[in-house]
Structure 1
Amino acid sequence: MRLSTRLMAAMVALVVLTAGTVGLLGYRTIEAAVEPRVLAEIHAHVRMLALELEASVRGARADALAFRSAVAVHGIIRTTRAGGTDSGDGMTLQKWRDRLAQRFAAELAAKPNYEQFRIIGIADGGREVLRVDRSGPSRSIRVVPDAELQHKGDRDYFQRAVRLPPGELDVSDVELNQEHGVIETPHLPVLRAAAPLHADDGEPFGIVIINVELRSAFHEIRASAARRGARIFAVNARGDYLLHPDAGREFAFDLGGRSRLEDDFPRLAAALATAGSVEPHIVADRAGVLHGAAAVTVRLGQRTPVTLIETVPYVQITAATSAVRNSTLLAG
């Protein structure tokens, strides 16, 4: 082989080796940078969703406390205790109820995530005194007739709220709504904000309560994650699923079953139970498959903890580095 040919071969080999080395270093540099960046994006997205969920129910706390002091509410209390007519101005119980029903209806019209307003009294086994909800045709707003008012004295949210001192508020767990003792279908996730009502002499009268529906908020959360190729979960303080890619696993605790985060991501569930929060990281599911995961916990109504978890398959995170690796191998 002539000297010029050998020199040319050596130069080609050097160029190929240099290109391969540069490509490999580039691949490793990208590999080291991509994972933290993708994890940060997952965390930012799930944090945004969690804050939006929190904001969707924030007003219920203030509204329940505000209606506790409404003139019409106190008119209902006075006239009920007086036998049906207010001794001060002659207003009847029905007129006070009509006046408050108008206000409740206006609130529902202005706040589409509010499902119902109620006044529930202690008397007659915790019977509803007034109820305005979306049970009309096509979910239109409706003042519920007396004959359809329900007894709620055995419900835990009523029993908790009615025992509170004046000025306090009860915020329930997220659970499926019930009507006449039966879980409503289609399932309607709700959170309730309830404040106790007292007469002027301090005697307990009942509660004012707002049901906030979360089905719409959960739908938006699910859709936002799907657009990113991610999976989203929401769990309560016990780890029960409120939101899951498989809707059949949601609210199992209300339906006589059990389905929790620990069933799918035992290490992540243990970390959340211990520390209450975790940094975005790579986590294995129960089958050993790796995922990038981020979790954010918010307190709905400043009371009820809900944790949103977003996961992305690890193979999706490494897709960009795989492309660099493949091009590097070709160059080598």
Structure 2
Amino acid sequence: MDIYNKGGASLVGSKVFLTIVSFVFFIFALFAVYFFEGHVKSDVLGSIDQEFTETQERLKEIVTSSIAESKSDLRFLYSTPPISGLPRAEFNDGIDPYDGTTYNQWKERLETIFIGFMENNLAVEQLRVIAVTAEGRELIRVQRVGASVEAVPDYSLQAKSGEPYFLPSSQLETNQIYMSPLTLNKEFGEVVFPYQPMLRFSIPIFSDKGKRYAFLIMNVNANALIDNLKRTVFNYSDLIISSSEGDFVYHPIEEYQFSRDLNPEITWDKVYSQKVQYQDSIR
């Protein structure tokens, strides 16, 4: 009896031991799974954070490179002979005292240079010379018309003193370059459709004696830049481009896009509670 009981007790003890071992193993397994999941989550979050950091650097590099290229193009155009010939002729009764070239000849030569440049630089939508006067009248404008590039006749040139870029462009010092915020292109005060998001780069033109004359301004279509930025962002994240004033340039919600021109009441502060610290040198 006792042996049976002992045997029974021993048997029960074995079951209890097995149960305890199983329970301990189960707890260990749960802990291992929890530890593994936590480790995986940590690795994934770390990987995502690293990817976002790398993406941010790529986005910044794309924008910086694009801006640098546009500035280089503008300086190249600024270095062409008609840029200095125009004010010499303008301030000498229409005749350049340096070589006798007339104002109209310099104008036609610059238009030819602009046309050739734009035919080989598809992102450039307009090249203009705008007088620094109260009216701010365009002196030269070359623009895209369908598939062609054309010089605009004098009777179609516009006054631009009311445009946001006019004042800062007319106050630039020698060799300084102004870059405008990214906005939609307008003609005669109306937004052009299909939409043309534009960055404008300008550089001042002075006479040989240092008299302020005009500024050269280049309109660059930013669609290719925006598309490039969109391709760089992961498919599980969204790209939002906002100016330092808080308006949206690009947003995954279509009606938020180009809010400065289309929906001025839509701003970052109205949509999001999180504040943003803007990078410098983007404007």
TM-score normalized by the length of structure 1: 0.73
Q: Secondary structure at the match of 1:185?
A: coil
Cα deviation 1:199-245 (Å, max 9, x = unaligned): 122222111111122122113323443x5221110111122211111
How far apart are the structure 1 equivalents of 2:75 and 2:168? Answer: 16
Q: Tell me the residue number matched to 1:285.
A: none
Q: Tell me the residue number matched to 2:235.
A: 228
How far apart are the structure 2 equivalents of 1:246 and 1:223? Answer: 17
2:249 to 227, 242, 248: 242
Cα deviation 1:104-143 (Å, max 9, x = unaligned): 2233233332222111123582221111222x223x3222
Is residue 58–residue 232 contact of structure 2 (8 Å, CA) maintained in 1? Answer: no
Instruction: Say if 2:212 is the partner of 1:204.
Output: yes
How far apart are the structure 2 equivalents of 1:162 and 1:120? Answer: 9
Q: Tell me the residue number matched to 1:265.
A: 272
Is residue 82–residue 107 contact of structure 2 (8 Å, CA) maintained in 1? Answer: yes
Q: CA deviation at 1:251?
A: 2.5
How far apart are the structure 1 equivalents of 2:228 and 2:211? Answer: 43
Over the matched positions of the two proteins, sequence identity in percent amounts to 22
Q: Tell me the residue number matched to 2:262.
A: 255
Q: CA deviation at 1:72?
A: 1.0
Is residue 137–residue 158 contact of structure 2 (8 Å, CA) maintained in 1? Answer: yes
Q: Tell me the residue number matched to 2:38.
A: 28
Amino acid at match of 2:236: G
Is residue 188–residue 213 contact of structure 1 (8 Å, CA) maintained in 2? Answer: yes
Q: Secondary structure at the match of 2:44?
A: helix
Q: Secondary structure at the match of 1:207?
A: strand
Cα deviation 1:159-206 (Å, max 9, x = unaligned): 222222323222222222111222222222212111111112222211
Provide the aligned C-alpha RMSD in A. Answer: 2.6
Q: Tell me the residue number matched to 1:132.
A: 142
Amino acid at match of 1:31: K
Deviation larger for 243-252 or 121-130: 121-130
Structure 2 CA distance for partners of 1:76 and 1:62, relative to 1, 3 Å: same
Q: Tell me the residue number matched to 1:120.
A: 130
1:184 to 169, 192, 209: 192
Q: Structure 1 unaligned segments of length 5 or more: list them.
A: 278-296, 305-332
Is residue 130–residue 149 contact of structure 1 (8 Å, CA) maintained in 2? Answer: yes
Deviation larger for 235-244 or 5-14: 5-14
Larger Rg: 2
2:281 to 277, 296, 299: 299
Amino acid at match of 1:17: I
Alignment of 1:58-69 (within 5 A): 58-69=68-79
Alignment of 1:6-155 (within 5 A): 6=15, 12-122=22-132, 125-134=135-144, 136-138=145-147, 140-155=148-163
Deviation larger for 60-69 or 26-35: 60-69
Q: Which has the higher relative contact order, 1 or 2, with Cα contacts under 8 A spaced 6 or more apart? A: 1
Higher strand share: 1
Amino acid at match of 2:46: P
Alignment of 1:149-168 (within 5 A): 149-168=157-176
How far apart are the structure 2 equivalents of 1:124 and 1:84? Answer: 21
Structure 2 CA distance for partners of 1:204 and 1:28, relative to 1, 3 Å: same
Is residue 240–residue 260 contact of structure 1 (8 Å, CA) maintained in 2? Answer: yes
How far apart are the structure 1 equivalents of 2:88 and 2:115? Answer: 22
How far apart are the structure 2 equivalents of 1:124 and 1:299? Answer: 30
Q: CA deviation at 1:22?
A: 1.3
TM-score normalized by the length of structure 2: 0.84
Is residue 62–residue 229 contact of structure 2 (8 Å, CA) maintained in 1? Answer: no
Is residue 51–residue 298 contact of structure 1 (8 Å, CA) maintained in 2? Answer: no
Amino acid at match of 1:49: L
